[in-house]
Amino acid sequence: MLDRALSLDELLCFALYSANNAMGRLYRPILAQHGLTYPQYLVLVALWQRDGQKVNDLGAALTLESNTLTPLLKRMEAAELVQRRRNPEDERSVIVSLTAKGRGLQQEAAGISRCILAAAGDDVADLIDLRSKIQQLATRLNASD
Amino acid sequence: MLDRALSLDELLCFALYSANNAMGRLYRPILAQHGLTYPQYLVLVALWQRDGQKVNDLGAALTLESNTLTPLLKRMEAAELVQRRRNPEDERSVIVSLTAKGRGLQQEAAGISRCILAAAGDDVADLIDLRSKIQQLATRLNASD
DNA sequence: TGCGATTTAATCGTGTGCGATTTATTTTCA
DNA sequence: TGAAAATAAATCGCACACGATTAAATCGCA
């Protein structure tokens, strides 16, 4: 089979990389107003949904491991957004819980995703469909190891 | 308007973040065999397409700036993948060119994207459509600043 | 012509992601 | 029971991304 010269525009991986970077650039200044980074915001979303998760639970939700999460959570603890304490029932694990401040940000942050959606496009149904297709892609990619 | 509790699964940004991380995890071990990282691979793709680009040209292609590209290109230069030299016609700019080694990797790397596509899905037409929609999203996001 | 504005890379600091390893705790099963 | 296996987090090193700033070269225009 003849291989044409590869172009950036043809790479699905580059489309993802580029769109994700663009999303980050959009979120960064908004989140910075609340003293948050992008993955820190995602941790908060996960905890707003269910407070008091183990590091591994958060890792499963975000597809990250302790080598990424531990320092990130320590910074969030230093910023008084979360509390980290050993699980009394199994001292190997660490429970991450929201502080009042971390919980309080939920109200402040409520408008953020709306603001991002507005930048992403005007047809909400299209965006939901795209999100679903990207989720399926991520699932397939994660299954290939 | 009533705000429901936000869930990770509902966030387009998280779908992108997660899929991009998954793609990176898939590429990393393959690219590592060639001594490459993911963004380094993207720089090579851009140079295979057109050799001898200025740092700014690469930045425009990848949507990155010199604060990211300069150290990355220096590592690629140290790995003898590219050559960096000041543009004689305008000493402000730097021309990045492929070395023989960098050019040679094009053949070796030819199978990579096929290998990734296989992990991404079996319906090529679907993947091309998804890529196109993600590209459009990136374009819209980049336009909102 | 010359000097301020612009353009282009480079530099610096912070915060991820992740491979590889380590440490502490719990589980398993001989 | 008790030592090996398994599990959970932490640690370490490297390579991005990017905001902010700096330095050098070129441009523009009075």
B14, B20, B48 member nearest A17 (Cβ): B20
In a domain, residue A35? The reply is: yes
Contact across the interface for A113 and B6, Cβ inside 8 Å: yes
State which residues form the domain around A99: 18-143
Tens digit of each residue's pLDDT (9 = 90 or more) over B34-74 = 999 999 999 999 999 999 999 999 999 999 999 999 999 99
Q: Measured between beta carbons, which residues in chain A are less than 8 angstroms from residue B46?
A: 8
- Report which of B18, B19, B24, B37 is spatially closest to residue B105, judged by C-alpha positions: B37
Contact across the interface for B119 and A144, Cβ inside 8 Å: yes
Alpha carbon distance A112, B42 (integer Å): 31
Find the CATH number of the domain harbouring B138. Answer: 1.10.10.10
In a domain, residue B2? The reply is: no
Total domains, chain A: 1
Contact across the interface for A144 and B26, Cβ inside 8 Å: yes
Say whether the CB atom of B92 is under 7 angstroms from strand D: yes
In a domain, residue A13? The reply is: no
In a domain, residue A136? The reply is: yes
In a domain, residue A5? The reply is: no
CA-CA distances (angstroms) from residue B55 to A34, A88, B43, B94, B105?
Answer: 34, 54, 10, 6, 21
In a domain, residue B5? The reply is: no
A15, A49, A130 member nearest B7 (Cβ): A49
Tens digit of each residue's pLDDT (9 = 90 or more) over A13-66 = 999 999 999 999 999 999 999 999 999 999 999 999 999 999 999 999 999 999
In a domain, residue A39? The reply is: yes
Tens digit of each residue's pLDDT (9 = 90 or more) over B88-112 = 999 999 999 999 999 999 998 888 8
In a domain, residue A110? The reply is: yes
Please tell me the distance in Å from B56's CA to the nearest CA on chain A.
Answer: 16
Nearest residue (CA) to C1' of D23: B92
